[in-house]
Structure 1
Amino acid sequence: MKEFILNNGVKIPAVGLGVFRVNDANAAYETVKSALSVGYRHIDTAMIYGNEEEVGKAIKDSRVPRQEIFLTTKLWNDDQRSGKVKEALDASLERLGTNYVDLYLVHWPVRGTYVSVWKKMEEIYRAGKVKAIGVSNYHPHHLDDLLQEAEIVPAVNQIECYPYLAQEPLIKYCKEKGIYPEAWGPLGAGQSDILVHPVVTEIAKKYNKSAAQIVLRWNLERGVIVIPKSVHKERQIENLTISNFQLTDTEVKQISSLNKDLRLGSDPDNFNF
């Protein structure tokens, strides 16, 4: 499995499994257990998803050694507002049944707190309970503010990113700062027609791959980590099997040109949760 190396030397599998909106406890458990059985070694959850306990149980029951799994969870907005960063992490660790996570992300840039919260993130990183720290849904101006005060540069910025929201300026910014971009909703979060777009389907025919595999490979070619969600074993296998072909520069540009700056999730500058 392809890996990227974060700015602190930690290796992260380039393809992971996201479990956003896998709300049913049994479904979350079976989804993660299935993914690990077919070769996933990168699982992405969050406190607000309500499935950390099931994710942790599936990891334990999978018999895959914990050190072989890259596990991400996230600090929710209410815990940022209350300043309870360490407490939130400890609660996540308890639910996950582990004594560390590989990546801990600030879930959203909560206005007025994100710089002070980052200082607390740096403290928990130094304490050794997380292998890497990063952010999610941050625009360049959020990162500019944070980096003025930061002693540790975020390892990752997890952002909404699929061909209709190609995020090229933000990806370029992150790379210049040594921050790895990571795409959530890389297939359009089930709300987009991107997988039937003629540009994508024509490229898929050429390589005898699915449209989803082409879109995921497009992000990998741009140096973007992807965490597609799927509860179906055959789709999980498909999403993971994208290392045996490469797109040409022209094809990457063709897909990038589909950009409409079309968000399916909230704008980080305007959210109410």
Structure 2
Amino acid sequence: MILILFNFSRYTPDIGINRARSSMAPLQKTEQTEAPNDDFRSLFATHPSPMWVYDPASLRFLIVNEAAAALYGYGADEYRRMTVLDIRPEQERERMIDAVSGRTDMEKAERWIHLKASGETFEVLTYGREVRFEGRAAILAIVQDRSEVNAARRQMSDTRSLLDSIVDNLPVGVFVKDMEADGLYVLFNEACGDIVGMRAEHVVGRTDRALFPAGQTDAFREQDRRAFETNAAISFEETMLRADGVSRILRTVKRALPTPEGHAPRYLLGISQDVTEERTVEA
């Protein structure tokens, strides 16, 4: 978000709340200040970021721009009777009083819960700055509505949870290694854990060297190397010892996960299926 801050000391005689239709008052100007005050009023009123100026002593709104009025849904008459506490739920008001008293939220972004005229609460980031307004100390607040960002994050989280659930419930083993981190397992589903006789959560964050005997580790790493050099899926059958010492036959496919053009692959995807019973019947 781009924040445009103004030097209010240049315009302080000319800013107030319009008692008619708009949030901006008519400017009372001298001939020398007419042009810059017109520019200021236009920029403040129409800037897309919700903004207001309030009195740190009374906490009353002194001026509110159009974006803030539209976002919160309060009218000009309501703003004239309101303080900045009125746009906060009860549980946030004491925190706001402390912040204003100690000036702890000045010159930095702070996360708050705000309240719309409809009663809806929503999360915002606010940036506060001390200014001069009509010859006295005041605070300028610039607001960023986090609703869309939070909704996108929730959707991403829900999608990730769904994908994790699908992978965990597949009847075949699925794993992913970070080859830039010495083959560290970053994904290992429950079926994979059943195949090798280990709990999946005990495998993620570890490497083959920490989990398997040296001979088995060497075999896995040779397969990984081939998959990266081939830059295509490789398929093979192998015999391995589970953690409990039982021998199993696996059919495994490995390949380096594609990356944007010009970037070397980093992750290795593996899919394994226990085919021991099939091979026993065939024999």
- Per the TM superposition, whether the score is higher than 0.5 is no
Relative contact order higher in (CA < 8 Å, ≥ 6 apart) = 1
TM-score, normalised with respect to structure 1? 0.22
**Rg larger in 1 or in 2?**
2
Instruction: Compare the two structures and name the one with the higher strand fraction.
Output: 2
- With structure 2 as the length reference, what TM-score do the two structures score? 0.22
